[in-house]
Amino acid sequence: MFNCLKEKYAASDKIIIYSSILIYLFYRADSGVCIFFRDLNCSFSSQSIIVMIDNIYFRLLRLAPVISNPVLVTITETEGSTPQKAGNSAIFSNRGLIAGTVGGGLAERRVQELAIEYAGTGKSSFYHSSFDNTSDDPDEAICGGKVTMLIDADPLRHLDVYRDMEKTIMEEKPGVLATWVSQHEDLSVGIQRFWIKDRPGDGLPPQVADILRPLVSEILASQDSNGYVKTELEIPGEKSKHILFLEPVFPLPKLVIAGAGHIGKALSHLGRLTGFEVTVIDNRKEFANSDNLPEAGRIIVKDIGQAMAEIDKTPDTYIVIVTRGHGCDADALRPCIGSEAGYVGMIGSRAKVAKMRSDFISEGWATEDQWKRIHSPIGLEIKSETVQEIAVSIMAQLILVKNSRKSRQDLSDH
């Protein structure tokens, strides 16, 4: 039994934890069982932890030493209403589903059967499935849509590509995974994968790099981690078309919580659950510790104002201020005024917020326009009463802001 799944990164003194903070996945190859367990004995500085994005390709890296003949299935196209969207993937072995999903139900069961068959032959292929809305089977999805899936019978041949992806994300840089599919006469397909980083087009074969460079640039500029793109290429001198799937991978958005009390703790859980890299700041060691905050990727025990001033604030940084009092809230908020943070919210009654607004403007710490960017009182109005309900209202507002920003960007592109 592992005591802690961790890896010393070659060029760094930081500890990398994959998939979750204190929950680790170990695949027991001899039994085909996925075992989840909570690590209770890791002792290292929380400021040395980097939480890796829960990416299906990074899971393959972790599973590679202990699994034989895995099959990677990816939804490449959808039509109509379907349980999952293009880009969703799952890993199967000859014993069943290991990670991810391509929709569940009978469709996923059929894919699992095919995965076992394909793993034996080593041949990859496309698979087409429809969700018949006239089916009488209670276990069948009846969305009425259609999906096309790419069944990769040998995903481990691209481990070097996944390692390069991981290194880039560790450096907090984005990139695009290109999957090049060539159709064979027997309807099987050949699959090549390339990791595009730094300059759009780098890493691709020369004959397609120039063609794809504008599209890759557009995908990266969108900052949309769900922007899975299919494109068909005609290469001079070749008769058949080549299919290329482009999948952007971005570092996790960052949730910074000032305050490690009850609401801060609940927010750290929800933040991790909804796909954020979570940092919690507090100057009280009895609150700012891994026992109280097991799902925080980073815990900073320091003067709150000073720590907030040192935090990088980018459009992918979402800041929630829920400290123990008015003074600490003000200290945490001041370094955020005028920053590029995608969201800044502060808890407080309307009376408290009105007084703080007056103080900030009269002292010259914020302009009227800068103050209008602060979400305070914080959270969506859902008549929340408990700590957990308050945390849900805050996260709902934060996610709304994050996703609305993407929607506005989409609209401005048309």
Give the rounded distance of the alpha carbon of 330 from its chain centre. 31
Strands (E) across 197-251 are located at 229-233, 242-249
Q: What is the CATH number of domain 254-407?
A: 3.40.50.720
Q: What pTM, to 2 d.p., does this model score?
A: 0.71
Determine what percent of the chain is predicted with pLDDT higher than 70: 78
pLDDT tier for residue 132 given thresholds of 50, 70 and 90: low
Instruction: Supply the pLDDT for residue 381.
Output: 93
pLDDT at 365 over 70: yes
Instruction: Supply the pLDDT for residue 201.
Output: 61
pLDDT at 289 over 90: yes
Report the distance separating Cα 161 and Cα 380, nearest Å.
Answer: 42
Query: Which two three-digit tokens encode residue 141?
Result: 């999805």
Least confident range from 80-89, 119-128, 171-180: namely 80-89
Instruction: Supply the pLDDT for residue 331.
Output: 92
20 vs 75: which has the higher pLDDT: 75
β-sheet bridge partners, residue 97: 92
CB 268 within 8 A of CB 293: yes
β-sheet bridge partners, residue 204: none
Instruction: Supply the pLDDT for residue 265.
Output: 95
Beta-strand pair 277-282/254-258: parallel
Q: If you average pLDDT over residues 270-294, what whole number do you get?
A: 93
pLDDT tier for residue 276 given thresholds of 50, 70 and 90: very high
pLDDT tier for residue 4 given thresholds of 50, 70 and 90: very low
Q: If you average pLDDT over residues 88-110, what whole number do you get?
A: 84
Q: If you average pLDDT over residues 120-141, what whole number do you get?
A: 69
Instruction: Supply the pLDDT for residue 39.
Output: 35
Instruction: Supply the pLDDT for residue 407.
Output: 54
Task: Quick: pLDDT tens for 150-165.
Answer: 999 999 999 999 999 9
Determine what percent of the chain is predicted with pLDDT higher than 90: 43
Domain ranges of the chain: 1-52, 68-251, 254-407
Q: If you average pLDDT over residues 1-8, what whole number do you get?
A: 37
Instruction: Supply the pLDDT for residue 8.
Output: 36
Task: Quick: pLDDT tens for 72-87.
Answer: 999 998 887 776 788 8
pLDDT tier for residue 200 given thresholds of 50, 70 and 90: low
Report the distance separating Cα 123 and Cα 119, nearest Å.
Answer: 7
Q: If you average pLDDT over residues 176-201, what whole number do you get?
A: 84
Dihedral class, residue 364 (left if φ above 0, else alpha if ψ from -120 to 50, else beta): left
Q: What is the mean pLDDT of the chain?
A: 79
Q: How many CA atoms lie within 13 A of 25 on its CB side?
A: 22
Instruction: Supply the pLDDT for residue 237.
Output: 67
pLDDT at 212 over 90: no
Strands (E) across 10-140 are located at 15-17, 23-28, 33-38, 49-51, 71-79, 89-93, 96-100, 124-130
Instruction: Supply the pLDDT for residue 203.
Output: 67
Q: What is the full DSSP assignment across 95-121?
A: TEEEEE-SS-HHHHHHHHHHHHHHHHH
Q: If you average pLDDT over residues 385-396, what whole number do you get?
A: 95
Please count the other Cβ atoms lying within 10 Å of the Cβ belonging to residue 169.
Answer: 21
pLDDT at 263 over 90: yes
Instruction: Supply the pLDDT for residue 341.
Output: 95
Burial class (CB in 10 A: 0-12, 13-18, 19+), 234: exposed
